[in-house]
Amino acid sequence: MAESRQRLCAVSEVVPGEARRFVIGAHQIALVRIGEDFYAIGDTCSHADYSLSEGEVDADALQIECWKHGSCFSLKTGDPDTLPATRPVPTYDVEVAGGEVWVTIDG
């Protein structure tokens, strides 16, 4: 499958410690900023169809919590760290260049 590099936003558009939702084609992405680092994971909780970008970010644990049922997902791997979710969400490679945030999407 071909990879595609997509611009999400300017660095200044994402507040540290918060998440922001983006839709790129069929991909719904939660972009999280922790300090100067950015993480991109699938925005839809694998337990139920709720947006992860609306949840709380835990900067120390590098997790985001689904606001509806409380499952926490690793920002690095997409793996759920707490129940009720048992399946991971996708992760995306993030690059910051020239003050812009870019992700790489497969296919």
- Give pLDDT, residue 3: 79
Average pLDDT, the chain: 95
Q: Which residues contact 26 (CB under 8 A, 6 or more apart)?
A: none
Q: What is the CATH number of domain 3-106?
A: 2.102.10.10
- Give pLDDT, residue 58: 97
Question: Residues 50, 66: contact at Cβ < 8 Å?
Answer: yes
- Give pLDDT, residue 24: 94
Name the band, by pLDDT with cuts 50, 70 and 90, for residue 107.
low
